[in-house]
């Protein structure tokens, strides 16, 4: 921007600030994520849908805790009266009601075992980190930026409508009562977002405040994006790069690559030996968990190791 410092420091007019927030969503919200695009095109397998439902449940469980943190930051009773409705929406007024319950109904509808989903045993480590990062972000923020980070709701109404249509069209095997969560959110999300947006626009009094809000929304979009990255990676069936020379049987196993070698410690060699381009990351981590019941970290470690090997070019997606 070419404006001088005095002008640059002045807050943007409300309309322009709101436009900026909306542009962040246009560019960075997870409606653009390849996994969501594939979901809405009807390209996901049943297994991928189930993985997403089981993992996204962890996100749902974090939401009322996040909203409780926001409540605790608020001085204004009117704000608290409004915001507490989110917790009621999510948890219900009594058992068997609310958004969390509706998500479990979705889990039933896609053929998952409800108790298994509630146990969180199949939550991917990348999903856990993303969701925990969101709670942490809100916990560390002041009220204004905490609310700003919730503004992804601005974009949620649209994605829910697309999703309902996509499920009805492409995934008829998902029983229709499972879609009630999405239908409910098409109403709740815009109302919640309108309240949050009005609060952020009026309370961000300086350009610096506005910039903190924009940054919080960007961060939140990144968190949602990385959640789907993790879900997507779990469905990929990794294979060894043709450039890699595995030495899995050595006393000190390693993989040799052009001008470097990666040492394989712990169960790394065992994990790599399962990477045949057919088994998915999910299946491989499941095998490790079964084989090593005494190692509570086996599931997480397998997923994290596979992700690290993909970053380093040792593993590739299927040809």
Which residues here bind another protein, judged by CB under 8 A? 242-243, 245, 247, 254, 256-261, 311, 313
CA of residue 80 relative to chain centroid, distance: 26
CB of 246 to another protein, least distance (A): 11
**Closer to another protein by Cβ: residue 175 or 263:** 263
Q: What are the structure tokens assigned to 210, written together? A: 């506005």
**Closer to another protein by Cβ: residue 3 or 251:** 251
**Closer to another protein by Cβ: residue 15 or 258:** 258
- How crowded is residue 297: how many other Cβ atoms within 10 Å of its Cβ? 13
CB of 223 to another protein, least distance (A): 20
**Closer to another protein by Cβ: residue 12 or 256:** 256
Residue 261 three-state SS: strand
Q: Which residues contact 176 (CB under 8 A, 6 or more apart)?
A: 109, 168
CB of 256 to another protein, least distance (A): 4
**Closer to another protein by Cβ: residue 133 or 256:** 256
- How crowded is residue 218: how many other Cβ atoms within 10 Å of its Cβ? 17
CB of 310 to another protein, least distance (A): 10
Distance separating alpha carbons of residues 27 and 155, to the nearest angstrom: 11
Q: Residue 246 forms beta bridges with which residues?
A: 255
CB of 209 to another protein, least distance (A): 28
Task: Report CA-CA distances (Å) from 242 to 112, 246, 317, 318.
Answer: 37, 10, 12, 12
CB of 254 to another protein, least distance (A): 7
Residue 274 three-state SS: coil
The beta-carbon contacts of 302-306 under 8 Å, at least 24 apart in sequence, are: 302/267, 302/271, 303/124, 303/125, 303/126, 303/230, 303/233, 303/234, 304/125, 304/126, 305/268, 305/271, 306/233, 306/238, 306/271, 306/275, 306/281
CB of 260 to another protein, least distance (A): 8
**Closer to another protein by Cβ: residue 172 or 258:** 258
**Closer to another protein by Cβ: residue 15 or 242:** 242
Q: What are the structure tokens assigned to 213, written together? A: 């809000």
Q: What are the structure tokens assigned to 155, written together? A: 């974009």
H-run or E-run covering 207: helix 207-235
């Amino acid at each position: 921007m070419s404006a001088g410092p005095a002008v640059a420091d002045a807050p943007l007019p409300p309309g322009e600030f709101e436009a900026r927030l909306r542009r962040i969503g246009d560019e960075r919200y997870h409606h653009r994520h390849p996994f969501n695009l594939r979901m809405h095109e009807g390209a996901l397998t049943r297994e991928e849908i189930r993985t997403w439902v089981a993992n996204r449940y962890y996100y749902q469980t974090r939401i009322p805790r996040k909203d409780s943190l926001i409540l605790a930051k608020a001085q204004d009773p009117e704000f608290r009266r409004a915001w507490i409705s989110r917790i009621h929406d999510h948890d219900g007024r009594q058992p068997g009601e609310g958004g969390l319950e509706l998500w479990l109904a979705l889990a039933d509808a896609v053929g998952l075992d409800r108790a298994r989903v509630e146990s969180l045993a199949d939550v991917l480590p990348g999903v856990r980190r993303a969701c925990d990062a969101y709670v942490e972000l809100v916990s560390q923020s002041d009220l204004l930026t905490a609310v700003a980070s919730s503004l992804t709701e601005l974009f949620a109404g649209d994605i829910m409508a697309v999703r309902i249509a996509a499920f009805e069209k492409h995934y008829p095997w998902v029983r229709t009562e499972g879609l009630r969560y999405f239908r409910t959110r098409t109403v709740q999300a815009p109302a919640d977002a309108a309240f949050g947006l009005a609060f952020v626009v009026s309370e961000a009094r300086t350009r610096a405040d506005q910039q903190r809000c924009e940054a919080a929304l960007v961060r939140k979009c990144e968190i949602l994006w990385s959640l789907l990255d993790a879900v997507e990676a779990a469905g990929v069936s990794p294979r060894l790069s043709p450039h890699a020379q595995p030495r899995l049987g050595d006393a000190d196993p390693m993989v040799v690559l052009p001008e470097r070698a990666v040492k394989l410690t712990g169960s790394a060699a065992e994990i790599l030996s399962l990477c045949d381009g057919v088994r998915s990351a999910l299946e491989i981590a499941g095998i490790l968990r079964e084989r090593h019941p005494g190692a509570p970290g086996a599931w997480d470690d397998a997923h994290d190791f596979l992700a690290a090997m993909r970053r380093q070019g040792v593993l590739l997606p299927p040809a």
